Amino acid sequence: MPLLSLPTGTKFSFMKYWRLGFALSTLLSVLSIVLFFAVGLNYGIDFKGGTLVEIQTKDGPANIAELRREIGELNLGDVQIQEFGAPDDVLIRVERQPGGDDAQQRAIQLLRDMFGDRVNFRRVEIVGPRVSSELARAGVIAVVAALLAIMIYIWFRFEWHFALGAVITTAHDVLITIGMFAVVGLEFNLTSIAAVLTIVGYSLNDTVVVYDRLRENLRRYKKMPLAQLIDQSINEMLSRTLMTSITTLIALIALFVFGGEVIRSFTFAMIWGVLIGTYSSIFVAAPLLIMFKLRPDAGSAAGEASTAGAS
Amino acid sequence: MLYFARWKIVLIVGAVILGILAVLPNLFPKSSVENWPSWLPHRQIVLGLDLQGGAYLLYQVDRQDYEQKRLTALVGDIRTALREDPRIGYTGLGVADNGAQVRIRDTAQFEDAQERLADLVNPLQSTLFGQGTVNEFEMTTGEGGLIRFTFTEDGLAQRIRSIVQQSIEVIRRRIDELGTTEPSIQREGEDRILVEAPGLDDPQRLKALVGQTAQLTFHLVDNSVDPRQAIEQRPPPGTTVLYSLDDPPQPYVVEEAPLLNGEDLTDAQATFNQQTNEPVVTFRLSTGGARKFGNVTSNNVGRPFAIVLDNEVISAPVIREPILGGSGQISGNFTVQTANDLAILLRAGALPAKLEIVEERTVGPGLGQDSIEAGKIAAVAAVIGVTLSMILVYGLFGVFANIALVANVILILALLSLLQATLTLPGIAGIVLTMGMAVDANVLIYERIREEAKSGRSAITAIDTGFSRALGTILDANITTLIAAVILFQLGSGPVRGFAVTLAIGIVTTVFSAFLFTRLLVAQWVRMKRPSAIPL
């Protein structure tokens, strides 16, 4: 027999607070949009162009201040230098050099000449202006295309209320994730797009599961008022929602802690996405159906009376 | 739902066993796998460049450079054509506005000139689908005797295509000489070339070898003018100033027209000069080249000539005696490696146009190894965490789910091996993430079974309906993620694509392992125990 049991038969009335959740989500979404335009994202070289170098010093911990001074003398414009996972590991980001693709190559040559044999180059990434603008466009297209394709699929499988609700919920998750990127200043690069798309997948997974149960209950309790029906469906799925979020979070936290510095920001975004996705499938996806008037409010009292026997 | 025909059981169990077999080669070193009997699978997972280290270099043909060079050559052709007997007087010949143009002085000769230049539009061989031929240039005329040549769109595209093709061949010849393991060189889009060289310690050398145009030319040096004077004023007509590789660079006034170029070479080798013992490159000329070189050296004994690589003077030896044998030696402060590399470049030939690096990603072998280790630890930690929580919450059924989870991971690795899909660091993250999300299918099923049991069904019916009712939800939930993965694959390059691949494979194996494999385990258990209550 199981040693732990998840809460079952819960009777939380989530929909009592749907307006609160809605207000919170709207606020966060608007805030994210404002942040996106006012603060902007910390775009990585994938989208902005430039050079990223990870070095490992050969003689003990790196002296970041000294490095900053030395690299400053190379006149490479804006350069970010940070410790990366270990004291002898340093990440150097050099902004895109004015000029074409050749100019980027000159920057890395200067760095290589400066370091000589003092360090190991663990990683060098150089993205020229042409490729970075292409990647940025491809990234936007991918996210939009994913949302559209998923909407079409859900449209086939559910009524339009659900399709629209799922897409709005997912867009909400994407927005708030982008807002998080802006607030934390986490680097936004190609892997971040991968994270965003995975969040899209995860969040939809959650939303679809809740919708699926809702649809089933809509057929079973023909007269039950929508808010109550939603509450019941969410409560029925609550232990599943919790369990899946927990196991996914366990896997992600393992990655975050042990997976190495290179994918840490990716994992961080994913953890955030799982939390947001779980929240939104309850507090955004479901109440949207109330807004769309999936089931007319009329006759709610009579409905309640008749469902008492059915459940 | 709980009844399995025998053939189905064989198929399901067979798939898992095949999966285990397919994973096996990954547990042994490559050298020992090669000696396995042929009925065993041999394919190992292909590690991405971020895991095994290596270089990813995306080159693009420098169109502007090519167009400029081509137009300059065209201007030369126009000059030659107009100077032919009878001469046609012209003015303003040169490159302007991305075209070559000339003005014919005498309007009476305008028609003649057009006729004479008409051939220069240079019909190119028709393309695979094209009807007839495509002209490389379009000739237009204007006021005041103006004749203009501009690139046609089709002609330019075709030229770029063949440049890319030739460049790929040249690059392949160069890299083959490096002895790197399995480099991949392929066209990307219209005018790009992607070079991927796994497991390379020194990407700098690769870059130097691939990116250099390596246009070798021999020029006579014009000693009649002082180089400094030539820079300040203007070099005499037909000559130009080139600089040496020395520090500080030494200027040379050389004749513009080369005596020989790289195409006249048949072989080049790095050796040592027998007197000075310094590394040099010896070359051998083709018969035609040898004759030309013999003539020139006979007539210019005592004069220096410059050996020029990509417009930089490597050295400028003095001709001491006529060189008739058709072979010679290039010296110029080489190290063993630079001499070797120059020999490789000369043997492989020059690139037909300048290539620019538009994207470069190199990972050292150390980082790749660290990433693999980190990924392994994370995977093990995730497995422990997830399996423990499943057992805690679902008891015996949790054990079933865990067996299915292990089968799932084996199947992912098996498919990666069989499909030879590339495993990247984000790909490892995808696998770990799948472990977390895969149990979702089991959770959905188990929660459903619980509900069914609670609503008063018997244990076996509850299990049965639990599986069947959960299927729709599982499919819907996974197909949406699959759509995201497919789109990610379309967009992605390198590491991101690796993530999409493992995510997509993970979804397929998840549905298999949760819905078929777990169900089979539960069904066998039900058959043996005939439970009256569900241990959930």
Do B122 and B246 reside in the same domain of the chain? no
Do B201 and B333 reside in the same domain of the chain? yes
Q: Check which CATH number belongs to the domain holding B411 and give it.
A: 1.20.1640.10
Taking an 8 Å cut-off on Cβ atoms, the answer to whether A121 and B364 are in contact is: yes
Taking an 8 Å cut-off on Cβ atoms, the answer to whether B480 and A154 are in contact is: yes
Tens digits of per-residue pLDDT, A241-289? 999 999 999 999 999 999 988 888 889 999 999 999 999 998 999 889 8
**What pLDDT was estimated at residue A175?**
93
**What pLDDT was estimated at residue B150?**
93
Task: Residue B61: list chain A partners with CB under 8 A.
Answer: none
Q: Check which CATH number belongs to the domain holding B91 and give it.
A: 3.30.980
Residue B310 within a domain: yes
Distance CA B150, CA B245 (A): 36
CA distances from B322 to A34, B167, B331 (A): 78, 35, 18
Domain boundaries, position B409: 6-52+365-529
Do B86 and B31 reside in the same domain of the chain? no
The share of chain B scoring above pLDDT 70, in percent, equals 97
Q: Which of A128, A201, A267 sits opposite B481 (nearest CB)?
A: A201
Tens digits of per-residue pLDDT, B155-189? 898 889 999 999 999 999 888 887 766 788 999 98
Taking an 8 Å cut-off on Cβ atoms, the answer to whether B496 and A194 are in contact is: yes
**What pLDDT was estimated at residue A217?**
92
CA distances from B77 to B84, B102, B116, B354 (A): 11, 12, 11, 22
- Quick one: closest CA in A to B390, which residue? A247
Q: State both tokens at A223.
A: 């007269």
Residue B11 within a domain: yes
Give the position of tokens 């180059």. A121
Do B355 and B373 reside in the same domain of the chain? no
Range from B40-44, B170-174, B494-498 carrying the lowest mean pLDDT: B494-498
**Amino acid identity, position A303:** G
Residue B51 clears pLDDT 80, i.e. is over it: yes
Q: Which of A54, A61, A44 is nearest to B364 (CA)?
A: A54
Task: Residue A242: list chain B partners with CB under 8 A.
Answer: none
Do B211 and B263 reside in the same domain of the chain? yes
Taking an 8 Å cut-off on Cβ atoms, the answer to whether A154 and B385 are in contact is: no
Q: Which of A120, A247, A250 sits opposite B366 (nearest CB)?
A: A120
Do B356 and B460 reside in the same domain of the chain? no
Residue B21 clears pLDDT 90, i.e. is over it: yes
Residue A138 clears pLDDT 70, i.e. is over it: yes
Question: How many CB pairs below 8 Å do chains A and B form together?
Answer: 239
- Quick one: closest CA in A to B429, which residue? A255
Task: Residue B356: list chain A partners with CB under 8 A.
Answer: 100-102, 128
Residue B536 within a domain: no
Q: Which residues pair with B309 in a beta bridge?
A: B216, B312
Q: Check which CATH number belongs to the domain holding B223 and give it.
A: 3.30.1360.200
Task: Residue A149: list chain B partners with CB under 8 A.
Answer: 483, 487
**What pLDDT was estimated at residue A191?**
85
Do B233 and B334 reside in the same domain of the chain? yes
Do B234 and B175 reside in the same domain of the chain? yes
In the stretch 444-473 of chain B, residues with CB closer than 8 A to chain A read 444, 447, 450-451, 454, 472-473
Taking an 8 Å cut-off on Cβ atoms, the answer to whether B447 and A237 are in contact is: yes
Taking an 8 Å cut-off on Cβ atoms, the answer to whether A6 and B481 are in contact is: no
Average pLDDT over residues A122-126: 91
User: Could you tell me the domains of chain A?
Assistant: 12-43+132-310 (1.20.1640.10), 50-127 (3.30.70.3400)
**Distance separating the N- and C-terminal Cα atoms of chain B:** 19
User: Chain A interface, mutation test: which of B358, B408, B469, most A Cβ atoms within 10 Å?
Assistant: B358
Give the position of tokens 């020059």. B350
Tens digits of per-residue pLDDT, A179-222? 999 999 998 988 888 888 888 888 888 888 899 899 999 999 98
Do B185 and B314 reside in the same domain of the chain? yes
Give the position of tokens 């007087």. B89
Residue B453 within a domain: yes
Which of B129, B152, B175 is the C-terminal boundary of a domain?
B152
Residue B268 within a domain: yes
Task: Residue B473: list chain A partners with CB under 8 A.
Answer: 208-209, 212-213
Does B86 sit behind a cis peptide bond, omega within 30 degrees of 0 on the bond before it? yes
Tens digits of per-residue pLDDT, B5-16? 889 999 999 999
CA distances from A211 to A161, B131, B281 (A): 10, 57, 74
Q: Which DSSP letter does residue B267 get? A: E
Distance CA A95, CA A49 (A): 7
Do B118 and B24 reside in the same domain of the chain? no
Taking an 8 Å cut-off on Cβ atoms, the answer to whether A257 and B381 are in contact is: yes
Produce one character per residue of A22-52: b if its CB has 16 or more CB atoms within 10 Å, e if not: beebeebbeebeebeeeeebbbbbbbbbbbb
Distance CA B184, CA B171 (A): 10
Residue B398 within a domain: yes
Give the position of tokens 């990813």. B56
**What pLDDT was estimated at residue A299?**
41
Q: What is the 3-state secondary structure (H, E, C) of B47-108?
A: ECHHHHCEEEEEEEECHHHHHHHHHHHHHHHHHHHHHCCCCCCEEEEEEECCEEEEEECCHH
Whether the predicted interface score ipTM is above 0.90: no
Which of B318, B336, B360 is the C-terminal boundary of a domain?
B360
Average pLDDT over residues A64-74: 91
Q: How confident is the model at residue B144 (pLDDT cuts 50, 70, 90)?
A: confident
The structure's pTM equals: 0.82
3-state SS assignment for residue B404: helix
Q: How confident is the model at residue A306 (pLDDT cuts 50, 70, 90)?
A: very low
Average pLDDT over residues B305-319: 89
Which of B360, B376, B401 is the C-terminal boundary of a domain?
B360
Tens digits of per-residue pLDDT, B329-344? 888 888 888 888 889 8
**What pLDDT was estimated at residue A307?**
41
The answer to whether the beta carbons of residues A282 and A241 sit under 8 Å apart is yes
Do B350 and B238 reside in the same domain of the chain? yes
Residue B239 within a domain: yes
Do B303 and B332 reside in the same domain of the chain? yes
The shares of helix, strand and coil residues in chain A, as percent rounded to the nearest 5, are 70, 10, 20
Look at chain B and report how many structural domains it folds into: 3
Distance CA A97, CA B256 (A): 34
Residue B125 clears pLDDT 70, i.e. is over it: no
Residue B468 clears pLDDT 50, i.e. is over it: yes
**Amino acid identity, position B82:** L
Residue B229 clears pLDDT 90, i.e. is over it: no
- Quick one: closest CA in B to A158, which residue? B476
**What pLDDT was estimated at residue A1?**
62
Average pLDDT over chain B reads 88
The helix (H) or strand (E) run that includes residue B448 is helix B425-454
Task: Residue A259: list chain B partners with CB under 8 A.
Answer: 374-375, 377-378, 428-429, 432
**What pLDDT was estimated at residue A155?**
87
Residue B535 within a domain: no
Average pLDDT over chain A reads 87
**Total residue length of chain B:** 536
**What pLDDT was estimated at residue B132?**
65
Q: How confident is the model at residue A302 (pLDDT cuts 50, 70, 90)?
A: very low
B490 touches chain A (CB under 8 A): yes
Q: Which of A8, A124, A135 sits opposite B360 (nearest CB)?
A: A124
Tens digits of per-residue pLDDT, B408-464? 999 999 999 999 988 888 888 888 888 888 888 999 999 999 889 988 888 889 999
Distance from CA of B360 to the nearest CA of A (A): 5
Q: Which of B361, B374, B488 sits opposite A194 (nearest CB)?
A: B488
Distance CA A119, CA A53 (A): 11
